[in-house]
A and B are shown apart, each in its own frame.
Chain A
Amino acid sequence: MTDPNTLSPLDLDTPDKTFLDANELVINMGPQHPATHGVLRVILRLDGEKVLGLECVIGYLHRGVEKIAENRTYTMFNPYVDRMDYVAAVSNGLGYCEAVEKLLSVEAPPRAQYIRVILTELNRIASHQLWLGTHALDIGAITPLFYTFRDREEILKIFEKYCGARLTTHAFRIGGLQYEAYDGFEKDVKAFCDFVKPKIDEYEELLTTNRIWLERTKNVGVISGKDCIALGVTGPVLRASGIKWDIRKALPYANYKNFDFEIPTGQNGDTYDRYIVRMIEMRQSLRIIEQAVAGIPEGPIMAKVPKVMKPPVGEIYHSIEAPKGELGYFIVSDGSTQPYRIRVRPPSFVNLQALDIMCRGQLVADVIAVIGTLDIVLGEVDR
């Protein structure tokens, strides 16, 4: 139990002076709580069950990733980024590799680009599946979790076959890929696409028109597009609020401009719209994967990159569309083999800011739903 006085001043609605608020309750949700997705600690001020305001306490998983980078070479730091958003490790790797490539003025060969896109999009699906399972579990539907994990397993199998690791894949290298796609890679990916399409329908069957699901998610955790932009919120959360912003389209990286896909948007910016947006995103990712698999060119998989990387003095900011939003890497190089400074702009960390706005005036149960819908990964929030 936290003493209310030690709380930093929350910007609360003016308290009702007519009555003494005998019911005001300060509750400490987490860091050990089944629904805070790891070690997030949320201090809630409640009036009965209504949330008056909340504050996130983070840092329980802080490992100093950015600081570690300053003592590692560019190549050595590559595996570390996998440990930030560990459910979307491939995306992290893509962002980092592309950022360093940009700094070195190298470009990965087309075949590498295609395989990168396939793996990243697969990982987007895996990340969304994990989100869906845990989000539904938070809202009380226990079954989707097992369905999504069953299907996510197939993606992890492909990862494992490709690079030997399932979660923290370290799949990409600066300048391209370490491994050539294994025999039957295309076949596996195609088979997965055919396998998972009906499965996504299955998830939707369980939830999309479920009355209780609708009641629990509609008009819950509403955030306007304006607020999203003000807070720097990105990813599906932003798109569900009606802003059509996807870095894959807006500032195309890798070879996303070669592919035909749509950016789903919502209107209300509530939890249900975010759910729908993510469901459509999974299908769009499948579309991208199918196009990419069909068009993988032959050729080298690694660009010419010096063994000892000494990028020119300068700084670079490169961002990609990770499953959770804009994942940016800001790298300052002093010309040595080690980066002078790396700053990561993790989507979860920024999106978490919106929690307060989204929860205010809602009930405790909605806080859970909103934490789920923000799709945060604490490894990324705390780095």
Chain B
Amino acid sequence: MHDLIQYIQSYLGSDKTPGGAGNIFWATVYVLLVFVGLSVAVIAMNWLERKILAHMQVRLGPMRVGPHGLLQPIADALKLLLKEDIIPEGADKVVFWVAPFIVVLAAFTVFVVVPFGPTHAITDMNIGILFMLGVSSLSVLGIVTAGWASNSHYPLIGALRSSAQMVSYEVAMGLAVVSAILMTSLNESSTGTLSMIGIVQAQFDQHEWFLFKFFPLGIIAFVIFAIAMVAETNRAPFDLPEAESELTAGFHTEYSGFRWSLFFLAEYSAMIAVSSIAVTLWLGGWLHPFPNLLSSPTWELAFSFIPGLTFLFLGALCFYHTARMPKHPLFRIQTIGLAGFGVVLALIGVVLFIPAVRDRVGDIFWFSAKVAGFMYLYIWYRGTFPRYRFDQLMKVGWKVLLPTGLALLILTAVVGMRGELLEQAKGVFGR
């Protein structure tokens, strides 16, 4: 028993990830935390998307279930779980069963290497980014098989579309990623790395986010990635595989209930996953703004207050809306509920001020905040853009993003190695 406690405690002072330290207990804890956190994020994202989109479209969105529809995602989940599970006639039952699980597994497994902080990752693989790209590319398999197993035309077309789309955009995505990885090595001090934590560390060491490195090359790479990642996750304006007006719902037309909700879960966690890649590669991962400039203890303290303040602000927002609730007996429960939610948020905010907690969650907060920004972008895109047509989508992928990415890669290498190249040139022409 004592050994066990010691084993658990031995990790606490470590500067490694649980996987890196080989501590199975903490690795399990982290896995569970990430899983729970991800589920909560997906649920929150569900509500936020509906609300934000609704407000963009001059409507209110869910308002009935819970105050301001806060319980709507839970009600939805319940409905999906209770729904009859239909397997269409002539479907390949085994494949039909397995397909959503492939997608979910692929979407969740990538979070093994996502660095929420210097030590806050399940593990730090030295092929981290390669692993992420590889595993996330596996979800194509699930989508293709789902479309095929449904034994129906619309899902089949949707599946073929989405596999073609994902495979093509993976290329552009890969090129943008490679140019960012290249940047880790284009510096006097640091060697290149594929490790997610190493990449963020390199940005810290080089005193700049890769977004701004070799201006404007970093930004171009980021934009390529930002476009490709929307296509990769089948979201608007690249949501052809599930183009509602053309293919009803694409590859998951025949799915319902629990298995459909798995696709839903996978879609949102894939969005979060690719956003975390973008954040890690270009936006400095867990680093707070200006980590090198504003690194004095005072600034560190100020930055460490921001998570708590954010939650307090959210709590205050809840109280403000509680005060604005209609004063009517029918609304009493809703008012109490909203106030309660505000209290919970405020409590979280207060807990985040405790020094021991404060020091540990700062990284996670900044990482999540950056990812949340991407999530908002996703919603914004959806509210603004019409949908691309399939051939146009392919044109964008192959004729615009791919050549740009290739040129960018070469340029990055040339700019990064300019010193050596000049040396060489001097050697040849100098005398």
Contact = CB atoms under 8 A, between A and B. Distances in A.
Interface in B100-134: none
A215 B383 CA distance: 18
6 contacts: A27-B157, A140-B245, A147-B58, A210-B386, A363-B391, A368-B245
B153 interface: yes
B224 interface: no
B246 interface: yes
B243 interface: yes
Interface string B236-250: 110110011110100
B389 A366 contact: yes
A357 interface: no
A136 B386 contact: yes
Contacts, number: 83
A197 interface: no
A200 to B, nearest CB: 16
Interface of B: 53, 56-59, 153-154, 157, 236-237, 239-240, 243-246, 248, 382-392
A150 B59 CA distance: 9
A316 interface: no
Interface string A44-87: 00000100000000000000000000000000000000000000
A138 B246 CA distance: 8
Closest 6 CB pairs of A and B: A140-B387, A35-B245, A146-B57, A141-B386, A140-B386, A138-B245
A368 B236 CA distance: 17
B245 A212 contact: no
A141 B392 CA distance: 16
Interface of A: 1, 25, 27, 33-35, 49, 136-143, 145-147, 150, 206-207, 210, 212-213, 215-216, 363-366, 368
B236 A146 contact: no
Given A34-B244, A210-B386, A365-B243, A140 B58 contact: no
Nearest to A32: B248
A216 B248 contact: no
B153 A140 contact: no
- By CB atoms of chain A within 10 A, which of B382, B386, B389, B390 has the most? B386
Given A365-B243, A365-B390, A142 B382 contact: yes
Contact of B246 (A141, A212, A368): A368
Contacts of A363: 389-391
A35 B248 CA distance: 9
A146 B58 contact: yes
Nearest to B387: A140
- By CB atoms of chain A within 10 A, which of B58, B246, B387 has the most? B246
A13 to B, nearest CB: 19
Contacts of A35: 244-246
Contacts of B248: 33-34
Contacts of A145: 57
